[in-house]
């Protein structure tokens, strides 16, 4: 029979399902813990809420960095490498699970875990947004309850033993990473590896956006970071143009122009995306706006407008032939 016992923490019970090896880990700020987990409701069906195995990769958390379910560090510190254990945790420890799960799900979806959050405490963010975006988590947010965590610990790495994910870096580490990522992106563009370059630019933007979330919009600190974001977004959009992801370009350039409506380069890239998806009127408007904002780009605009006109004329001829064929009466 599996033995159930109490940790030295109120409202927590542990059951070892499979023994581990070695000594208990010594956690410190910056240590990376790699493990699989399953979260279940404490109901008759033991309803599964989250399962890291469904994402295909283990969960990783950085001790003391941007992870607000502190009880998990306590649970994992009681485990040895290779151990599988089941923990029952009272509601006093699980009230923040909905917000934490939201971030984990965003990471699994390839999104920024802090996307949309204001610089406030976790509970304040809950009240700001009312919904996590996931129905099952909204239920937990409304009625915190005991949860069961089944964890399998793989390893604990010291801070110097691994490369930090950018979202888990400190402010200083993020600022230092941005120019490195920018240079790597530029190098990949020269090699015409546009997909990988776009990833570098995107990673740098995420670093800066996370820092901006801690600043007041349009004040000095926010503006300094925005001046670093803008060229990275433009480089990202250029890569997406090369890759044929025109609607991605339309989305990001439009978002950029909502804040900086005098950016000629953003209009130029958006115009090219409009032209590529046959939005003739929008493309012409954006190209003319470019020439107005930056006369030095007038020659490039003239060339693009000529190409746009030729493409549209060719398309109209092809469409006319196609429609004529549709309405020809059958012979005989």
Nearest CA among 156, 176, 178, 48 for reference residue 101: 48
3 state SS of 90: coil
31 and 135 housed in the same domain: yes
- The answer to whether residue 331 sits within a structural domain is no
Instruction: Please indicate, yes or no, whether residues 292 and 176 belong to a single structural domain of this protein.
Output: yes
Q: Which of 104, 126, 157 is the last residue of a domain?
A: 157
Q: Which of 58-62, 87-91, 276-280 has the lowest mean pLDDT?
A: 58-62
> Is 320 within the bounds of a domain?
no
Span 213-242, mean pLDDT?
94
Q: What is the pLDDT, as a whole number, of residue 81?
A: 92
Pairwise CA distance, residues 74 & 27, whole Å:
10
80 with 177, same domain: the answer is no
pLDDT at position 330: 62
Asked which of 16-25, 39-48, 314-323 is least confident by mean pLDDT, the reply is: 314-323
Give the pLDDT score at 7. Answer: 75
The CA distances from residue 283 to 175, 237, 270, 290, in Å, are 36, 16, 8, 11
In this predicted structure, the answer to whether residue 205 has a pLDDT above a threshold of 80 is yes
pLDDT at 120 over 50: no
182 in a structural domain:
yes
Query: Residue 322 falls within a domain, yes or no?
Result: no
Does 328 fall in a domain? no
In this structure, is residue 323 part of a structural domain? no
CATH of the domain at 128: 3.10.50.40
User: Are 114 and 50 found together in one domain?
Assistant: yes
State mean pLDDT over 224-245.
95
More confident residue, 95 or 133: 95
**Phi, psi values for residue 48, rounded to 5°:** -80, 130
Note whether 195 and 293 are same-domain residues: yes
144-158 pLDDT, tens per residue?
899 999 999 999 887
Whether residues 54 and 134 share a domain: the answer is: yes
Domain boundary residue, one of 128, 157, 186: 157
In this prediction, residue 115 carries a pLDDT of 55
d(CA 198, CA 233): 9
Is the confidence at residue 329, as pLDDT, over 70? Answer: no
202 part of a folded domain: yes
Give the end of a domain, one of 106, 130, 157: 157
Mind giving me the DSSP string for 233-301?
HHHHHHHHHHTT-HHHHHHHHHHHHHH-TT-HHHHHHHHHHHHHTT-HHHHHHHHHHHHHH-GGGHHHH
> Which pTM value belongs to this model?
0.54
* 163 belongs to a structural domain: no
Residue written as tokens 């700001």? 128
Largest Cα separation within the chain, whole Å, is 93
The parent domain of residue 39 ranges over 12-157
Helix (H) or strand (E) holding 104: helix 97-108
Band (pLDDT 50/70/90 cuts) for residue 57 is confident
Please give the backbone phi and psi of residue 114, each rounded to the nearest 5 degrees, phi first.
Answer: -100, 10
How many folded domains does the chain comprise?
Answer: 2
Q: Are residues 186 and 144 in the same domain?
A: no
């Amino acid at each position: 029979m599996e033995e159930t016992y109490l940790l030295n923490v109120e409202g927590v019970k542990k059951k070892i399902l499979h023994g581990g090896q070695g000594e208990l880990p010594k956690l410190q700020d910056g240590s990376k813990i790699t493990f699989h987990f399953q979260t279940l409701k404490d109901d008759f069906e033991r309803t599964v809420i989250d399962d890291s195995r469904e994402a295909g990769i283990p969960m990783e958390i950085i001790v003391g960095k941007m992870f607000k379910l502190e009880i998990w560090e306590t649970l994992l510190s009681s485990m040895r490498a290779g151990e599988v254990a089941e923990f029952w945790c009272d509601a006093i420890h699980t009230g923040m699970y909905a917000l934490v799960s939201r971030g984990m799900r965003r990471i699994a979806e390839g999104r920024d875990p802090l996307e949309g959050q204001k610089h406030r405490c976790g509970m304040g963010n809950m009240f700001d947004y009312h919904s996590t975006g996931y129905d099952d988590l909204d239920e937990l947010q409304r009625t915190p309850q005991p949860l069961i965590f089944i964890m399998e610990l793989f390893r604990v790495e010291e801070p110097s033993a691994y490369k930090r994910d950018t979202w888990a870096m400190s402010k200083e580490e993020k600022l230092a990473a941005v120019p490195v990522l920018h240079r790597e992106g530029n190098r990949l563009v020269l090699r015409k590896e546009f997909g990988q370059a776009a990833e570098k630019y995107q990673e740098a933007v995420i670093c800066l956006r996370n820092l901006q979330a801690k600043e007041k919009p349009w004040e000095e600190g926010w503006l300094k970071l925005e001046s670093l974001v803008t060229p990275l977004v433009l480089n990202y959009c250029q890569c997406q143009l090369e890759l044929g992801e025109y609607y991605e370009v339309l989305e990001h350039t439009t978002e950029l122009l909502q804040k900086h409506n005098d950016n000629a380069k953003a209009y130029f890239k958006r115009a090219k995306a409009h032209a590529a998806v046959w939005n003739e009127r929008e493309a012409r408007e954006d190209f003319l706006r470019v020439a107005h904002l930056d006369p030095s780009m007038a020659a490039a605009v003239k060339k693009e407008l000529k190409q746009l006109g030729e493409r549209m004329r060719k398309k109209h001829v092809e469409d006319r032939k196609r429609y004529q064929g549709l309405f020809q009466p059958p012979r005989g």
